[in-house]
Amino acid sequence: MLGILGEEELDQMVRDYIESDQSTTPIPARTSKPRPRKSQSILQAFFLLTFHRFYLQNYYIPVFLPVFKSSMSDFRYTLEYFFQDILSEATDIETQLLDKVLMCVGGAGEPSSLKKGVVTRLQMDGYEASLCKTSWVSTSGHKIFQFTGGYDYIEVMITDQNFSSKTTRLIVDLDLRSQFELARPTRTYKDLTNALPSVFVGIEERLDKIISLLCSAAEASLKENDLHIPPWRKAEYMKSKWFSKNCNKVSVMPISEPGSDASEEQKPAIHVASIF
C-alpha cells in the first residue's frame, strides 16, 4: 500500500519542505482566495497526487473521501501555490545571475551558439561559468532495456565574498520548461508548466524539488489520459540531465562566426519533444 501512496523522493521532499519554513506568505492582490499555510499547502498537494494514483489505478477507497474536503479546483490552487513557493525561493545571488543571463540571451545570436554565447559573456563579466555535458544510462523495470541520455546546461560557481572557501553551484538552463512539456496535459499539469520559467537559474536543491514535483504531476497527468509513462518521464531519468556524475565541462571558444562548424552541439540521444 505504501508503494501506491507515492515515491520516497516526493515524501522526503514534502517533509523537508515543511520543516524549512512554517511561515505564512501574503497572497498576491490578483486573487481573492486566502493563501493556505505552507504546511497545509504541501499536504494538500501531496494528497492530490495520491488521489490521482489511487483513483487512476483503481485503488480508490471511499474511506479516503473525508480527507479531500476541498474541491479539485481548490487542490489545483494549493498545488500551484506549492510550486510557486519553490520558484520564489530564489536568493539574491540567483536573481542577480538570472538578470545577467537574460541580458546575455538577448544578444547571443543563433540558437545553435546560444549556450556558448552566454558562457562566453558570463566569463567576460568575471563569472566562473562552464558549459556542462552530461550522459548516462538508465534502465526500466527490466534491466535488459537500457536508455541512454545526454544533455547540456550551464554551470556557474559563485564564491562567497565573506568565506572564500565556500562556493555555490548554480545551474543555468536556457530552456527548462520544454523539458517537462506533454502533448496532452491535464489542466493542473499545464498550469504548473506554464508557471515554470523558460530560463532557469538556481541551486541544485531547488531544481531537485522542481523535478520531483513536476515528474510526479506528469505521471498523474499521463495516467489520467490513459497513457503509458515512459522511462524518460521518471524523476530518476530527468534528474540525470543535471545531476549525472558523468559530466564533462566543454571548453568554450569565442562565439563562432556564421557558417562555422557547430558539430560540438551534439543532440542528446533521447532529448526530444515528448510524444506522450
Same domain for 79 and 124: no
Q: What is the per-residue pLDDT for 144?
A: 53
Residue 22 lies in a domain: yes
pLDDT(260) > 50: no
Residue 143 lies in a domain: yes
Residue 260 lies in a domain: no
* Spatial separation of the C-alpha atoms in residues 61 and 209, rounded to whole Å: 29
Q: Please give the grid coordinates belonging to residue 240.
A: 540525470
pLDDT(71) > 90: no
pLDDT-derived band at 15 (thresholds 50, 70, 90) equals: low
What does the pLDDT average to over 39-60?
48
CB neighbours (10 Å) of residue 86? 22
- Ranking 27-36, 70-79, 87-96, 151-160 by mean pLDDT, the lowest is 27-36
Same domain for 100 and 74: no
Domain end (from 87, 113, 144): 87
Same domain for 178 and 216: yes
> Of 266, 214, 220, which is closest to residue 239 (Cα–Cα)?
214
pTM over 0.95: no
- pLDDT tens-digit series, residues 194-211: 999 989 999 999 999 999
Q: What is the per-residue pLDDT for 142?
A: 52
Residue 98 lies in a domain: yes
CB neighbours (10 Å) of residue 186? 19
| Average confidence score pLDDT of the chain | 71
Same domain for 50 and 103: no
| Higher-pLDDT residue of 234, 23 | 234
Q: How many CA atoms lie within 13 A of 136 on its CB side?
A: 19
Rg for the chain, CA atoms, rounded: 20
Same domain for 71 and 184: no
First to last CA, the chain: 27
Same domain for 60 and 96: no
Q: What is the per-residue pLDDT for 47?
A: 54
Same domain for 192 and 129: yes
Q: What is the per-residue pLDDT for 105?
A: 85
Q: Is 264 helix (H, G, I), strand (E, B) or coil?
A: coil
Q: What is the per-residue pLDDT for 77?
A: 64
What does the pLDDT average to over 34-58?
50
Angle subtended by helix axes 72-87 and 38-56, to nearest 10: 120
Same domain for 241 and 119: yes
- pLDDT tens-digit series, residues 212-230: 889 988 988 898 888 888 8
Q: To the nearest whole percent, how much of the chain has pLDDT over 90?
A: 27
Q: Which domain holds residue 150?
A: 92-250
Q: What is the per-residue pLDDT for 220?
A: 86
- Ranking 27-36, 61-70, 100-109 by mean pLDDT, the lowest is 61-70
